[in-house]
Amino acid sequence: MSYIKFDSSKLSKFVHENELPEIQAMVTAADEELRKGTGAGSDFRDWLELPTKYDHDEVSRIQRAADKIKSDSKYLITIGIGGSYLGAQMAVNFLHPNFYERKNQATQVEFVGNSLSSSYVNDLLNLMGDDDFSINMISKSGTTTESAIAFRIFKEKLIEKYGEKEANQRIYVTTDKAHGALRHEATVNGWESFIIPDGVGGRYSVLTPVGLLPIAVSGGNIIDILNGAADAQNEYTDPDLEKNDAYRYAALRNILYRKGFTTEILENYEPNLRMFAEWWKQLAGESEGKDNKGIYPSSANFTTDLHSFGQYIQEGLRNLFETVVKLDAPASDVTIPSADKDLDGLKYLEGKALDWVNTKAYEGVVLAHTDGGVPVMTVHLPDESEYSLGYLIYFFEVAIAISGYLNGINPFNQPGVEAYKTNMFGLLGKPGFEEIGKKLNKRL
């Protein structure tokens, strides 16, 4: 039985018994495309065996670098955008208590270079003040606009504070092994560097140095994460839908999609899973949104969002289905206290555990939404450990890859991402894009 429990029992009114057996042949074909490399994008499948074939020496270097950063820095400024930061921030948020960074006891991992907001950059600079810090620049090329600007700003501050020689000892880069501007700069300046494997795309890179260094600096056990992912790798190999929950999830979401359920909402009942949804949205959206088709990935944080757009989910357009990541055992719990008077009407809950109440809310929502015509699936996560996180990451990675092939697209490229960049470069006046800029300015 899988470590992660996948519950699709509430789909009976939406998916008939015959439909999973009938899609099995397509799933088997998709599995062959993925495993044998016969499908589109086959050069970017190295994440498949990454948990069991990672570079042990490099992971040891990551741990040593993390120890050094924790010993000499109050902040690790992690610079990257998209897959270069989402996985790391997701993991840092998941693995630590809410508000942990406000205790100011451990090295704080802060993220920048994921927007072009001047206020955000200045707020981070003001937060750091004169405290010691190091930089982890994450980029294949080193020329991604958002990250490159942030790197220039924080590198300048680093040199101003420490001088160039010591600053070079506080810059850690995660980049291509041989090519690109960042690789060249790292070689020239002697920065410690870690490799983004050629066969791993950004949205699949959290289990590479891209995610592992920031996670290790935050205090996360990266070996346990890799072990969880390794066990998931071994678990999700059989294409039989009766034996592979990750493939079953992929198949069911495609069955629902073909019936007009075109938006998937990934939901949680724990605030420290919010960034997990952001990571998942890139994984799903960038993998599947191509050729004018694909499931639209959205997210909701319950019970919070039940008081905002829960009304729409319950009674709005019936193109939605939900996948809940339900944490079965939170890291801590609290008992609802007794009171002399029942002014708030909570006497019936006195002495109950708050997580029990949270679980009953989840159960009530599932029943209400399915009654309202919204299909709901649940991925049950046992706890908030590193092992569980690694397992969960791999579950969704392999499921989305299979889902992409089921829908007849290349799940490993992202050609549409370049469109905004071309326009932005033209409007900014980047050399080589002047003519594009002139045409765009006429349209504005």
Cα 116 from Cα 111, distance rounded (Å) = 13
Q: Note the pLDDT tens digit of each residue in 388-400.
A: 999 999 999 999 9
CB-CB neighbours of 346 under 10 Å: 14
Cα 343 from Cα 259, distance rounded (Å) = 48
Q: What is the pTM of this model?
A: 0.95
Model pLDDT, residue 143: 85
Q: Note the pLDDT tens digit of each residue in 158-183.
A: 999 999 999 999 999 999 999 999 99
> In a 3-state reduction of DSSP, which class is residue 297?
strand
Q: Is the peptide bond before 303 cis (omega within 30 degrees of 0)?
A: yes
Cα 442 from Cα 444, distance rounded (Å) = 6
Q: Note the pLDDT tens digit of each residue in 364-387.
A: 999 999 999 999 999 999 999 999
Cα 205 from Cα 34, distance rounded (Å) = 17
Model pLDDT, residue 102: 67
Model pLDDT, residue 416: 66
Q: Which residues of the chain have pLDDT under 70?
A: 1, 102-105, 416-418, 427, 440
* CA 322 to mean position of chain CA atoms: 18
Question: What sign for the dihedral angle of Cα 211, 328, 241, 276?
Answer: negative
Q: How does the average pLDDT of the chain come out, rounded? A: 94
Q: Note the pLDDT tens digit of each residue in 123-145.
A: 999 999 999 999 999 998 888 89
> In a 3-state reduction of DSSP, which class is residue 411?
coil
Tokens of 377: 């699936």
Cα 436 from Cα 430, distance rounded (Å) = 10
Cα 336 from Cα 328, distance rounded (Å) = 19
Q: Which residues are catalytic?
A: 286, 421
The answer to whether 93 and 274 have CB atoms below 8 angstroms apart is: yes
Cα 6 from Cα 71, distance rounded (Å) = 41
**Token pair 């994440």: residue:** 47
Q: What domains sit in the chain, N to C, each tagged with a CATH number?
A: 5-39+226-407 (3.40.50.10490), 47-220 (3.40.50.10490), 417-443 (no CATH)
